[in-house]
Amino acid sequence: MPDRLLIIGGNAAGMTAATWARRQNSSAEIIVVEKTPFISYSECGIPYVFSGQINSLDTLIRYQPQELLEKYQIKVLIQNTVESLNLSSQFAEVKNLAENKISKINFDYLVIATGAKAKVPNIEGLNLAGVFTLRHMPEAKAIDEYLKKNKPRNAVILGAGYIGLEMAEALRACSIDVTIIESSKKLLGNFDGQLKAQIINELNKQKVKLLLDETIHGILGSQKVEYVSASSGVINTDLVIIAIGISPEVSLARSSNIRLGASGAIAVKETLQTNFPNVYAAGDCAEVNHIVLDKPYYFPLGTTANKQGRVAGINIAGGRAKFTGIVGTQAVKVFDLEIATTGLSIDEAKAAGFWVKELSSHSVSRAGYYPGSEPIFTSLLYDERTGKVLGGQMIGYEGVAKRIDVIATALFNKMKVEDLLQLDLSYAPPFAPVWDPILYTVRKLK
């Protein structure tokens, strides 16, 4: 274990790396540099604060810097940013943003956990009051303050991805009229066909206006946002949330000659080492191995960040942990609808050269005669040549989000579709029909 470990980034990956390194070694000096005033919080919980399901944004914060110092002897420098790295001499130039002073911090090992930044469209009006991205806690605090102070009646959300749809639900809970504008014809990045239709039906039911295949021309107003100009016309609004995606924050890595992968994120080994043996990268700034595609991929998620942080922390302390990769599992709640996906979509599988076959079914979440049973639609993809499972998507009003984990496990273990029929899945009328929706789907295999 090195005498000093320096970590850049104080949220999921960075703090997990710090605490796991400390578990392995009680004497090393561990320093975390974080640009914002906030560390160790759940970004995924932010929309549920706006909807009122969680009391406050502060509830999402796991640790304060002083707590980490007292409990783990981890020193956290908030409102500090690393201006440059000298990897050959092993030091970082760190700027204290509050005092506008630069100091030098030497290190033996380094973890880059700089995360990701929100993408923004190349349009006018981004600096108007009432226009926000939503990525980190400072942005969430600003939105929270704006909602309480200005009480907007209309909102436009740019992007129909996970954050966009979650924020639509949150704002509707505040009695705000919501319009979602999406530049593509799909939802959630790759949802089309029946899955797309069911999401649209739910949005219509909840009085959310959805505009697909739409071009944004600009955000306009006098000091404060007043309307959005799009290809279908002008939309009056008091609030704009930009949620068109994220990109890895790798400017520091790039300037330090740390190798980037084809995705634009930092290339790492299974150990989370970069092309510099004493420099690790973890979280939303780093690539992962996609097990189904068998190649490096950019798939930023909180679960992945925590797992990567653990592996980096263990290995820096002399362990031999590996992060083998992901299969692309996600779940989202859109009002009353549960949506989950894992592996590849049809388009992704075809683009990768697989001979894609789809099995699909309409089933139910519980035994049909048991009260509260809800319909579930399941789509399962496999390769016609090898029989291997390629992906799955499920949508319904109950029992979807955790069922997708069965398909994710099959993908991780490179199972064949026919093998799924042998799985001993739980059954009881309050929880599942005798033929679980996944098994019911596989039964259609000819």
Where do the DSSP E strands lie in 270-388? 279-281, 288-290, 295-297, 330-334, 337-343, 356-364, 375-383
Given 1, 44, 87, 212, the catalytic residue: 44
Instruction: Write the DSSP string, 153-177.
Output: SEEEEE--SHHHHHHHHHHHHTT-E
Closest among 128, 331, 148 to 228, alpha carbons compared: 128
Q: Is 44 one of the catalytic residues?
A: yes
Q: Contact 33/77 with Cβ under 8 angstroms? A: yes
Q: Cα(342)–Cα(365) distance, rounded to whole angstroms?
A: 19
The values of phi and psi at residue 354, to 5°, are -80, 155
Closest among 160, 161, 163 to 50, alpha carbons compared: 163
Where do the DSSP E strands lie in 206-287? 208-211, 216-220, 227-230, 233-236, 239-242, 246-248, 279-281
The values of phi and psi at residue 7, to 5°, are -120, 130
Q: Contact 79/138 with Cβ under 8 angstroms? A: no
Q: Cα(323)–Cα(268) distance, rounded to whole angstroms?
A: 10
List active site positions: 44
